[in-house]
Amino acid sequence: MTKDADTQREKTSHRLNPTMAELIELRLSRRGFVGGVMAASTLAASGCASMAKSTTPKSSFQFDEILRGTDETHHVPEGYTADVLIRWGDALFEDSPEFDPLNQTAEKQLRQFGVNNDYIGFIPLDTSDGDEARGILCVNHEWSTTSMLFPGVAENYPDSVTREICEIELASMGGTLVEIVKRDGDWSVVIPSTYNRRITAGYTPMTVTGPAAGHDRLKTSDDPVGKTVAGTLYNCAGGVTPWGTYLMAEENIHGYFSGELPEGHREERNYKRFGVPGDWYPWGRHIDRFNISKEPNEPNRFGWIVEVDPMAPDTKPKKRTALGRCKHEGAESVVAKNGQVVLYSGDDERFEYVYKFVTASKFNPDNRDANMNLLDEGTLYAARFDADGTMEWLPLVYGSGPLTEENEFYSQADVVIEARHAAKLMGATEMDRPEDIEPDPTSGRVWVMLTNNNRRKEDDTNAANPRAENLHGHIIEIIETDGDFTSTKSRWEFLVKCGDPDDPAFGAVWNPMTSENGWFGSPDNCAVDPDGRLWVATDGNNRTGGADGIWAMETDGPLRGTGRAFFRGPEGCEICGPRFTPDSKTLFVSVQHPGDSRENSFENPLTRWPDFNDNMPARSAVLAIQRKDKGKVGS
């Protein structure tokens, strides 16, 4: 054993015998929460007896933790495999060209798997003879890291970016639907398949539905009716509905726009709040619709949640405006006890809000077609987290409270277009970058990933965001009243406050049983597996000195608040989209922008994962993680 391993064991061992007082303190880490007191009392009553029998409570996860660190490749626990299923540039169709990173075109990319894969959804399909499993993988392609994707652009960016490069980027982003099959223990892509499809940022026509459809604020010279949009932008996390459609959340859309609004334009307040123009990309130099000087309404056509029907590849995706417009991270839904569908989403920016949407009509499990427009009517809410551990879901409905003509809301269309401003006026709580939000249909709990906020000052902390300069984020658990996801009054508490628990400067709070490898920073995506266990993926854990990865999280009992390191990605990447198959025997994981940092480029990546070929750039990819003995992942 090396000296480093000895030191690591010493750091780990001091957490292995927590006192009951420490466990209670973890549960009570937010002041004044009566529900936490009750939970801690229950923990003390039920936990003391078990602690007396054993100093190490049994974990719900049974795997050997991997080590904290960073290097050029990925890592899984002993007894597991992690195989590349599909990479940027891989074929989707019989006529897909071979990937050639030095000779890319938009036409080629439209026939290939896209770049920077993020969210993963899985739609099960019926199996045939010899199949162990079969399904449609639904994958978002969030953004294009131009200097990592194209040779020769890094030194003179953005002047080196041509219209051709812009068009390739528009073709590489969006989403991919691809049929996959498992045979003899291995997953592979099915070609040909009627389900395989690319949805892109620039070439896929989409229908606008809901209250903003046809509104003047969505009309452009290309679409004077305001009901058809070409493409979807910056698709981060997403969701799969109970009726089997794929939801794509549009996040940082502001970065693609440049130019200036005409003086006194109606959208001045709206765009300032949204950060438009972000001017991250030079698309507006070459394509008029991304220049707000020429097309001032175009940004209002993005920032929505897009619904795609995987079973009908010829249908247009739909932008569901009733769900509100913001920088959506995630679109996870659940059927409430009364049959209504509830969808949760975070607005991924510092000081933004947590949202949920409750459909007006109920889910019909016996008639799929009856559910296809459920997301067009319902109530959009923003969350207020109170210091006593209660919370209220505030309705963002035209005519309610301040959402009136006095504040320039003239219809529900205005409310959803400016959901951020509406949430602020209603008194929603400004959060530390709310990202993925995952409901657990069994327990009635909802986990909220809050990635970080280094701009919060001491004088603007609040009960749900208690740390100034919150570099590492935290996870909040919402307990919907009586397990009713439609509830408008609920409770909340912390699961963990992320960062190094051995450094008092961070104010991190973990269960003392968490090992040196088990804590992390910057929770981003998450998944609840079929057994109701929470798994967390990170984006920014490099700030703690380790690579981004996936951690299993205990949410109940004496080990509540304990992290357990399961997967580690290659350096320069972020980890996204953890998604389990219904039998829990495969975990699909997105490895996004491997080898990337501010200083790296196509010619000089941190790693050339996963090909490790000098003639290939680093390539984002989806991995299929399985146990070698074919058992359930994590069990």
CA distance 334 to 313: 24
Eight-class DSSP state of 176: E
pLDDT value, residue 130: 87
pTM, 2 dp: 0.92
Report which secondary-structure segment, H or E, holds 492.
strand 489-497
CA distance 432 to 454: 9
Are 360 and 377 in contact by the 8 Å Cβ rule? The answer is: yes
CA distance 239 to 332: 5
pLDDT value, residue 488: 98
CA distance 526 to 544: 19
Mean pLDDT (whole number) for 198-208: 96
Q: Which of 259, 149, 136, 273 is nearest to 195 (CA)?
A: 136
Sheet with 534-538, edge to edge strand ranges: 523-528, 534-538, 549-553, 563-568
pLDDT digits 0-9 by tens, 480-534: 999 999 999 999 999 999 999 999 999 999 999 999 999 999 999 999 999 999 9
CA distance 323 to 412: 11
CA distance 510 to 500: 9
pLDDT value, residue 42: 37
Residue-averaged pLDDT of the chain:
92
266, two tokens:
């109606």
Spatial CB neighbours of 626, under 8 Å, sequence gap ≥ 6:
80, 81, 83, 185, 585, 586, 587, 633
Eight-class DSSP state of 23: H
Eight-class DSSP state of 110: T
Mean pLDDT (whole number) for 68-94: 98
591, two tokens:
């490895």
Reported as a pLDDT band with limits 50, 70 and 90, residue 355 is very high
* Angle at 99 (CA atoms; ends 96, 102), nearest 5 degrees: 135
pLDDT digits 0-9 by tens, 122-180: 999 999 888 999 999 999 999 999 999 999 999 899 999 999 999 999 999 999 999 99
Residue 624 has pLDDT above 80, yes or no: yes
Measured in degrees and rounded to the nearest 5, phi and psi for residue 410 equal: -110, -5
For 68, the 3-state DSSP assignment is coil
Q: Which residues pair with 552 in a beta bridge?
A: 535, 564
Reported as a pLDDT band with limits 50, 70 and 90, residue 268 is very high
CA distance 242 to 332: 10
Measured in degrees and rounded to the nearest 5, phi and psi for residue 151 equal: -70, 145
Reported as a pLDDT band with limits 50, 70 and 90, residue 440 is very high
Q: Which of 241, 228, 233 is nearest to 278 (CA)?
A: 233
pLDDT value, residue 20: 38
Q: Which residue's structure tokens are 């307040």?
A: 269
Q: Which of 70, 66, 69 is nearest to 597 (CA)?
A: 70
Q: Of 5 and 68, which is predicted with more confidence?
A: 68
Mean pLDDT (whole number) for 552-579: 97
